[in-house]
Amino acid sequence: MRPSNRSRAATTSGWQCSAQVTYIRTSQGWLYLAIVLDLYSRRVVSWAFSNQPNSELSVRALEVAVQHRRPNQSVLFHSDQGVQYSSDTFRNALSKHNITASMSRRGNCHDNAVTERFFRSLKSERVNYTI
């Protein structure tokens, strides 16, 4: 599932995105946020919230991204090896849209640094001050 080129330098040709799930503590318990981030523009294309970190959460974020972007060329979808992204449910959703999966090396957060950095900024600048 991993392409041999580890570079995440996106170009305008094709669409490369990165996805991840994080958890946010609220006064009513944990809330899970899944995002799909465009690696070229570094903008969030879609997101989904749930009270459970399951594959359905990630599929919802993927479906919104596909609906929003309507890709008509090659798509590379990068994620970590979390159960949400390695599940049959999620892999079938990728296949349905002819999207190529790419997964981080096990235990290597640097492979998904763009989304890790986004979540760090989100939590330090917004979440920790508002919830």
Q: Per the domain annotation, does 88 fall within a domain?
A: yes
The contacts found for 29-34 with CB under 8 angstroms, 24 or more apart, are: 32/57, 34/58, 34/60, 34/61, 34/84
pTM: 0.79
Q: Per the domain annotation, does 9 fall within a domain?
A: no
Domain count within the chain? 1
Q: Per the domain annotation, does 47 fall within a domain?
A: yes
- For residue 78, give its domain range: 18-130
Q: Per the domain annotation, does 97 fall within a domain?
A: yes
Q: Per the domain annotation, does 26 fall within a domain?
A: yes
Angstrom CA distances, 109 to 54, 81, 106, 115, stand at 20, 10, 8, 10
Q: Per the domain annotation, does 7 fall within a domain?
A: no
Query: What tens digit of pLDDT does each residue of 100-119 get?
Result: 898 876 766 666 777 778 77
Q: Per the domain annotation, does 119 fall within a domain?
A: yes
Q: Give SS3 for 93.
A: helix
Here the CATH number for the domain that contains residue 33 is 3.30.420.10
pLDDT in tens, the chain (131 residues): 444 444 445 555 568 989 999 998 888 899 999 999 998 888 999 999 999 999 999 999 999 999 988 877 788 888 888 888 899 999 999 999 999 898 876 766 666 777 778 778 788 776 765 44
Q: Per the domain annotation, does 69 fall within a domain?
A: yes
